[in-house]
Structure 1
Amino acid sequence: MAADWSMLPLDVVGVIALKLQTFEDFIKFSVACRWWNRASSSVKHQWKAKPVVPWLLLAENTKDNPDCVRKIFNLSNNKRYNLYLPETFGARCWGSPYGWIAMIDRNYDVILLNPITKAQFHFPCLKPLDCGTPPTSGESYESWFLRCFANRLIVLKVPQNNNYEFVVLVVYEYYQGLAFARQGDQQWTPIFVKSEVKMVDLVAIEDKVFALYEDGSIVSWNVDEFNALQLIKPADYSLHVNLVFVKLNKSINQIYMAQSGNELLLVLRYKDGVGNADNTDFDHDIVYRTIGFEVYKLKPKDKIWEITKDLGEVALVVGGNSSMCVATGHAEGLQRNCIYFTDDDYVYWRLVREKGGHDTGFYDIKTDVLQFYEGDDMRSSFSPPTFFIPQL
Structure 2
Amino acid sequence: MICHHRPSLPKINLCNRILNACKKLSCISATKVHGHESPAVGGKRICGSSRGWLIVADKTSAITLENPLRGLKIQLPPFCPAAGKQELVHKAILSSDPETQEQDYSVMIIYGENRELARYDSGNKTWTMLQEAGSFYDDIISHKINFYAVDGYGRVVRCEKSNVKEIAGPWFFKGNRVYLVVIEEQLSLIIRHWKNNPVSGQKITHKFEVYDLDGPENWVHTDLDGWSVFVGQNQSLAVRVAGSNILKGNCIYFTDDNGDLHKNSITDGRDQGVFDVEDETISSLRCYLQDFPPRGVWPQSIWLEK
3-state SS of 2:71 partner = coil
The 5 A counterparts of 1:111-150 are: 111-126=64-79, 128-129=80-81, 149-150=88-89
Cα deviations across residues 175-228 of structure 1 (Å, max 9, x unaligned)?
532111133654422123343x53332222212222223444332122xx3xxx
1:268-304 Cα deviation digits (max 9, x unpaired): 1111116xxxxxx7x44x622100011001112x731
**Aligned partner (choices 251, 269, 276) of residue 338 of structure 1:** 251
Aligned partner of 1:129: which letter?
P
Structure 1 counterpart of 2:64, which letter? I
Residues of 2 paired with 1:160 and 1:116: CA distance? 13
Counterpart CA distance in 2 for 1:194 and 1:76 is 40
Q: Which has the higher helix share?
A: 1
Residues 15-73 of structure 1 deviation map (CA, whole Å, 9 limit, x = unaligned): xxxxxxx986xxxxxxxxxxxxxxxxxxxxxxxx62234223231585xxxxx431223
Given candidates 361, 374, 377, the residue that maps to 2:273 is: 361
Between the aligned partners of 2:202 and 2:264, the Cα distance in structure 1 is 10
Q: Determine the C-alpha separation between the residues in 1 that align with 2:72 and 2:181.
A: 27
The answer as to whether partners of 1:176 and 1:193 remain within 8 angstroms in 2 is: no
Distance across 2 between alignment mates of 1:364 and 1:152: 26
Superposition pairs of residues 51-62 of structure 1, within 5 angstroms: 51-60=9-18
User: Which of 124, 129, 133 matches 1:190?
Assistant: 129
The structure that has the greater radius of gyration is: 1
Q: Which residue in 1 is equivalent to 2:284? A: 372
Give the unaligned 5+ runs of structure 2: none
> CA separation in 2, counterparts of 1:107 and 1:200?
22
Q: In structure 2, what is the equivalent of residue 387 of structure 1?
A: 303
Give the alignment of 1:1-392 within 5 angstroms: 50-60=8-18, 68-106=21-59, 108-126=61-79, 128-129=80-81, 149-157=88-96, 165-183=104-122, 186-195=125-134, 198-222=136-160, 225=161, 232-234=162-164, 236-237=165-166, 239-241=167-169, 245-248=171-174, 252-273=175-196, 283-284=199-200, 287-300=202-215, 303-309=217-223, 311-350=224-263, 352=265, 354-373=266-285, 374=288, 375-376=291-292, 379=297, 384-390=300-306
Residues 189 and 60 (structure 1), Cα distance of their counterparts in 2 relative to 1, 3 Å cut: closer
* Pair 1:179–1:372, CA change in 2 (3 A): same
Instruction: State the secondary structure of the residue aligned to 2:40.
Output: helix
For residues 102 and 264 of structure 2, what CA distance do their matches in structure 1 show?
A: 45
Query: What CA RMSD, in Å, does the superposition of the two structures yield over aligned residues?
Result: 3.3
Residue 389 of structure 1 and its aligned partner are, at CA, apart by 2.1
Contact kept, 8 Å, 2:156 with 2:168, in 1: the verdict is: yes
Q: Which whole-Å CA distance do the structure 1 matches of 2:5 and 2:274 have between them? A: 23
Tell me the matched-pair count: 297
Does structure 1 conserve the Cα–Cα contact (< 8 Å) formed by 2:181 and 2:236?
Answer: yes
TM-score (norm 2): 0.82
Equivalent position SS for 1:87:
coil
1 or 2, which has the higher strand percentage?
Answer: 2
> Compared with structure 1, are the counterparts of its residues 83 and 109 closer, same or farther at alpha carbon in structure 2 (3 Å cutoff)?
farther
1:339-387 CA-to-partner distances (Å, cap 9, x unmatched) read 01111112322263x141110111010111102344439947xx82111
Q: 1:207 to 1:91 in 2, by over 3 A?
A: same
| Cα distance change, pair 71–186 in 1 and its aligned pair in 2 (3 A) | same
Distance 1:159 1:357, change over 3 A: closer
Deviation by residue 1:211-246 (Cα, 9 ceiling, x = unmatched): 223444332122xx3xxxxxx231x33x4445xx32
Q: CA separation in 1, counterparts of 2:245 and 2:82?
A: 43
Taking only the aligned residue pairs, the percentage that are identical comes to: 21
C-alpha separation between the residues in 1 aligned to 2:141 and 2:18?
27
List alignment gaps of at least 5 residues for structure 1.
1-21, 25-48, 63-67, 134-140, 226-231, 275-280
